[in-house]
Amino acid sequence: MTAISRRAHIGALDGIRGLAVAAVLLFHAGHLGGGFLGVDLFFVLSGFLITGLLLDELGRHGRLDLPAFWARRARRLLPALTLMVVATLLLAWAFARPDMLRSALQDAPWVAAQSVNWHYIGEQIGYWDASGTRLFAHLWSIGVEWQFYLVWPLIVAVAGRGPGGHRRVALVAVAGALVSLLLMIRLAAAVDTTRAYEGSDTRAFSLLLGAAAATAPARDVVARLPRTVTDVICVLLLCGLGASWVVTAGEKAPGLFQGGMFAHSLGGAVLIALLSHLPDGRVGRVIGSAAPRRLGELSYSLYLWHWPIYLLLPRPAPGPGSWAWNWAWNWAWTIAAIGLSLLAAVVSKTAVEDPVRLRAGWATGRRGWAVLAVTAVTAVGLWTAIPRPVPGAGTVDLSRLDQS
C-alpha cells in the first residue's frame, strides 16, 4: 500500500478533524467567534484525501472506476445523513416551533438532492440571519462536498492520466483555487454574503488547495524539509490557525472574504501535507493522540447531529442575575448540548455508519438493497405524512398586543 492510500488512516489527520469539529461546536454554541473556519479544514482535508486516493488508483490501474468511487462515497456518507434527517423531522414534529418544522420540511428535499446550499442561496434570506431557525442549515457544507465529489474525479480522470499527471492535476487545482478566490472577492461585495459563503464555486478553493497538496510536486517539496523544520512549521501553523479562530469576530471580520479564508485554507493545506509526511513527529504525535483522534473519528456524525440538537434543546435566556451566573448557565447548556451530540454521534456510528461501511451482513447483497428501499420509502413517507404548519402559526401578533 502506498503512502497516499494510507493517509486516511493517519492518526494526526483524524486529530485535525477533531480540532475542526470542536471549533465548529464551540462557534455554534456562541463561544468561539471564528470557529466556523473549522469547516474550511474539513474541506481541505477532504480535497487532500480524495485526490490522494484518486491519484493512487490512477497510478495502480491507469484508470478510475468512477461508479465504484461514488458508491464508496455514498456508502460512507449517506446512511448517517439519512438517519439524522429522519430523526430530526420526527423530533421537529414533536418539539419544534411551527416555523422551524415548516422550514425543515421545505429544506429536506434539497438535502436529499445534496444541493441545499444553492437552495439557501436562492431563498436570499441570509444564512447568517436565518440559520437559527433552519434545522438543516449546517448541511450546506455537505452539499458543497458532494458536488465536489461529483465533478473533481472527472477532472482527475482526464488530467491525471499518463506521465506528468500529478503535475497537471496540481496546476488545475491551483488555477481553480485562484479563480474561486476571485469569485469570492467579487461576490462578497454584496450586502448579504450568503452567496459567497455557501457557493460551491466560491468555496472550492479550500477543497482544491487540499487537492494540490496531495500531488507529487507538493509532496516532493515537503519531503526535502528536515524533521525539525517540519515540526517548527507545524507548530507555527497550528498557532496561526488557532489564533484565527479566536480573533475572527464572526462573518463580518475585516478581510475574511477578501483572502482571509483563502489564507486559512492554505495554511491548513500546508499543515495537512506536513503531518501526512511526518505523522510520527512531535506535533503529529500530539494531534494524533487519543482524545483528538477519537473526536475526529466521530466528526462526521458529530457535525451532522450537533446543529439540530442545539436548536431543539431549550436554551436559557439571559436572566436578571449576575454576569457570572448567566455565564455558568450558558456553559452548562453548552456541555449538555455537546454531550447529547456526542451520544447521538456514537449511536449513529456504531449502529449505522460502521456496519454499512464495513459491509455487515444486513448491509450487503439483496438484504442491503432491501434495507435501502425500505429506508427510502420510510423517509419519503414521513416527509409526506407530517402536517405542514400554516404560515404564521405559533407567532405572536404584535399589532393586537399594541391595541390591548
On the question of pLDDT at 54 being above 90, the answer is: yes
Q: What is the pLDDT of residue 253?
A: 85
User: What value does the mean pLDDT take over residues 106-122?
Assistant: 94
User: What value does the mean pLDDT take over residues 155-171?
Assistant: 94
- Residue 226 is classified by DSSP as -
Residue 235: how many CA atoms within 13 Å on its side-chain side?
Answer: 8
User: What value does the mean pLDDT take over residues 135-141?
Assistant: 95
Residue 168's CB: how many other CB atoms inside 10 A?
A: 18
Nearest to 87 by CA among 19, 147, 136, 49: 136
User: What is the spatial distance between Cα 144 and Cα 140, in angstroms, rounded to a whole number?
Assistant: 6
User: By 3-state DSSP, what share of the chain in percent is helix, strand and coil, each rounded to 5?
Assistant: 80, 0, 20
Lowest mean pLDDT among 74-83, 146-155, 323-332, 392-401: 392-401
DSSP track, 54-87: HHHHHHHHSS--HHHHHHHHHHHHHHHHHHHHHH
- Residue 255 is classified by DSSP as T
Q: What is the pLDDT of residue 68?
A: 93
Q: What is the pLDDT of residue 126?
A: 72
Reported confidence tier of residue 210, pLDDT bands at 50, 70, 90: very high
**pLDDT, tens digit (0-9, with 9 covering 90-100), for 118-131:** 999 998 777 777 77
Domain ranges of the chain: 3-403
- Residue 352 is classified by DSSP as I
Q: What is the pLDDT of residue 319?
A: 66
Quick one: cell of 46?
Answer: 477532504
Largest CA distance in the chain: 79
Within 125-198, residue ranges assigned H as helices are 127-130, 140-159, 165-187, 194-198
User: What is the spatial distance between Cα 24 and Cα 47, in angstroms, rounded to a whole number?
Assistant: 19
| Cell numbers 471580520: residue | 253
279: Cβ contacts below 8 Å, ≥ 6 apart: 10, 11, 12, 13, 288
User: What is the spatial distance between Cα 199 and Cα 153, in angstroms, rounded to a whole number?
Assistant: 19
Mean pLDDT estimate for the chain: 89
Nearest to 53 by CA among 188, 214, 163: 214
On the question of pLDDT at 323 being above 80, the answer is: no
Lowest mean pLDDT among 123-137, 141-155, 201-215, 324-338: 123-137
Question: Is residue 9 within 8 Å of 15, Cβ to Cβ?
Answer: no
Based on its alpha-carbon atoms, the radius of gyration of the chain, rounded to whole angstroms, reads 22
**pLDDT, tens digit (0-9, with 9 covering 90-100), for 220-277:** 999 999 999 999 999 999 999 999 999 998 888 889 999 999 999 999 999 999 999 9
User: pTM above 0.85?
Assistant: yes
